[in-house]
Amino acid sequence: MQLFYNHTLTKSSSEIKFSREESKHIAKVLRKKEGDILYITNGKGILFTAKITFSNPSQCHAVIDSHETQPRKSYSLHLAVAPTKMNDRYEWFLEKATEIGIDQITPIICDHSERKVVKEERFERILQSAMKQSLQCYLPQLNPAISFSDFIAQKNDDQLLIAHCEETKKQSLKDVVQPKTNATILIGPEGDFSTKEIELALSSGFVPVTLGETRLRTETAAIVVAHSVAFINE
């Protein structure tokens, strides 16, 4: 199954015109012809089945035969992760977290952050590609980068957790995460959260957790969290 993405589709849509890039992929790479079936999602949970009416490398058209709303997971995971010094490491996290299953991602700028600017358009493309590759119909929400203090100040009714490396009392993530519960989890930069940031998070209701005995890179810690939460909710 090959999944395509078009955010403009709604339940009332009757046809779709693919971009030049997608049309080339459909006609030349996949060798799809008139009458062949395509599957498209709008990233909002709807899977559309469409039949090709015109196949050309420069422009493909299809009529939508049916649509089906896919069920959401029993939980929602929001990871607030500091950008990594090497941009490709953060992009790897975005790809793998999407494949595993994540709902929201917020880049947080921390006291020890070495990277303070992110490429939102490129990040968005990576999320879309990973969603299609893993055959999912919900596109993770990528929020604008925000300072740690501003993020903490936002109203949040999720289960709130912070993973940090300071030698203080912490509980294991697997013992804290509540199944079928929305969670927001903070992951710091290469230099970890500052003591001031940890104290601010704890005073705002965040529970400190550990991800194991070894020290993990930022992007590895984020993937461990995404997988652990998914596993607990199986």
pLDDT at 199: 96
Using pLDDT thresholds of 50, 70 and 90, give the confidence band for residue 232: very high
Residue 1 has pLDDT above 90, yes or no: no
Mean pLDDT of the chain: 95
CA atoms 162, 164, 168, 172: torsion sign = positive
- Cα R_g (the chain), whole angstroms: 20
Q: Is 94 helix (H, G, I), strand (E, B) or coil?
A: helix
Q: What is the pLDDT of residue 73?
A: 93
Q: Which two tokens stand for residue 34?
A: 């008139």
Q: What is the tens place of the pLDDT at every residue in 9-44?
A: 999 999 999 999 999 999 999 999 999 999 999 999
Q: Is 165 exposed, middle or buried (0-12, 13-18, 19+ CB in 10 A)?
A: middle
In contact, 177 and 229? CB cutoff 8 Å: yes
pLDDT tens by residue, 102-160? 999 999 999 999 998 899 999 999 999 999 999 999 999 999 999 999 999 999 999 99
